[in-house]
Structure formats: structure tokens, C-alpha cells
Amino acid sequence: MFLNVCRIIATFFCAGYAPKAPGTAGTLATLPLYGILRRLSLPRYLLATAVLGLIGVFVSQKMEDLWGKDPSRVVIDEVVGLLITLVSRPKGWREIGLGVLLFRAFDIIKPPPVGYVDRHVAGGAGIMADDMIAGAISAFLLSLVSKKMLR
């Protein structure tokens, strides 16, 4: 039972089982959760994201022990990465879509420091950390672009 709960969380309600592009499927599956969390105050949004990040480290490690190094089915890292990207809690679909595109680009291309962390941090922490950094970079760029979009 415990491992099944870990599996459901790690695959974000089975989005990670998508036959093609499970990371993108996990990212897109995050949007309904984002719609709920966006309504929270910023401190509560950050707390929810941090708690999900800590849970993600734990369940990612459990699934890595079961499925091998950095299994593609584990997409909780994409969930947390996108929530970090959208920390400014945009409401418009253009900004949300841009956030998704920025995050997926940094997650796939893995420029420094994302790639460095991906290669050098092991286990559940490593699975989560590179996406969290990709999310932070994406959040910064989204805030810059959003300011220009609103002018």
C-alpha cells in the first residue's frame, strides 16, 4: 500500500506513464493543481510547493530504488519545477503557457547549472533539484517577460 501511494505521487496520478514525453505530460498535468494553488496567498503557495518538493525527494528516492536511476516515469519533479516557474501566480493563459514552455526548455536542454546538478547530484534529491533550478530560472525569465508584456 505504501509503495503504491509513493508510485501515485511520483508519477503524479500516473501522468508519468505517458508513452511519449512523460515529463511534458507531468508538466501539463500540473496545471489543474496550479489552478487550485494559485488562489492561495504567496506564503501558502510557497509552503505548499516546498512541502510537495520534500515529499518529491522522498518518493523519487523510493521509485529510483525500485525502477533504477532517474526513471522517466517519475514526474513529481516536473510538477514542483512548474509550480516554482509559476510562483508569480499568473492568471492569463499566455503567461502560463510561456511559463510551461520556458520550464520545459530548461528541463530538456539542461543548461548550466541545471545540467551540472543533473549529472552530479544523486538520488531523490538529484531527481528533484535540477527541475527546481530549471523552475527558478524559468520563473526569473517569466517575470522579466511578463513585465514587458504588461507594458
- In this prediction, residue 138 carries a pLDDT of 98
Gyration radius of the chain's alpha carbons: 15
Residue 151 banded pLDDT, cuts 50, 70, 90? low
| Helical spans, DSSP H, in 16-122 | 22-37, 42-67, 76-85, 93-109, 114-120
Residue 69 CA to residue 149 CA, distance in Å, equals 40
Is the per-residue pLDDT at 149 higher than 90?
no
Number of Cβ atoms within 10 Å of the Cβ of 88: 16
Q: Summarize the confidence of residues 63-78 as an average pLDDT.
A: 97
Within its chain, how far is the Cα of 85 from the centroid? Answer: 8
Residue 113 CA to residue 55 CA, distance in Å, equals 23
Burial of 151 from C-beta contacts in 10 A (0-12 / 13-18 / 19+): exposed
Residue pair 92/145 in contact (Cβ under 8 Å)? The answer is no
| Averaged confidence pLDDT in the chain | 96
- In this prediction, residue 45 carries a pLDDT of 98
Residue 117 CA to residue 124 CA, distance in Å, equals 12
Is the per-residue pLDDT at 147 higher than 80?
no
Residue pair 29/10 in contact (Cβ under 8 Å)? The answer is no
Task: Give the pTM.
Answer: 0.96
